[in-house]
Amino acid sequence: MRVVFDTSVLVAAAHSRLGASYALVSSVPTPEFQICLSVGLYTEWQVVLTRPEHLAPGQTAEDARRFLRYLAGQAHLQEIHFLWRPLLADADDDMVLELAFAAGCCYIVTHNVKDFHGSEQLGVIAIRPREFLNLIRKQS
């Protein structure tokens, strides 16, 4: 199954090794799901995750970029040939939804589920990391 990890999931994983976000991010690659990525989302990941406040303890911006390159290497890179904007309140969230739709994803994994209200119109469900982790554990 293909999914998109919203940037909030990677930020949470960088801040704590105890939560569902870390469990999901650290499981890549896995046979349960494949993350999908666009150039736009990858750029957002880099900008946000290299900020000092989002670096894992003892890590540098270069360490973050190296990890993001690894994740990108495991992801399905999806080109987007259309724009659905505006559908959601935030253009950055529209970018994530467009990726999920173009890649045929069922889920956007995010801590900001309310920001994706309306994604169901395109057959994409916004789901919290803990809920998604429970879902894939039940399917295994």
How confident is the model over 38-88, as pLDDT tens digits?
Answer: 999 999 999 999 999 999 888 999 999 999 999 999 999 999 987 667 888
pTM score of the predicted model: 0.94
Specify the DSSP element, H or E, that contains 92: helix 91-102
pLDDT greater than 90 at residue 139? no
* All domains of the chain in start order, with CATH: 2-139 (3.40.50.1010)
Tell me, what's the pLDDT at 88? 87
Secondary-structure percent of the chain, ordered helix, strand, coil, rounded to 5? 55, 15, 35
Please, which residues have CB within 8 angstroms of residue 89's CB and are 6 or more apart in sequence? 115
d(CA 102, CA 79): 8
Q: What is the mean pLDDT of residues 5-17?
A: 95
Return mean pLDDT, the chain: 94
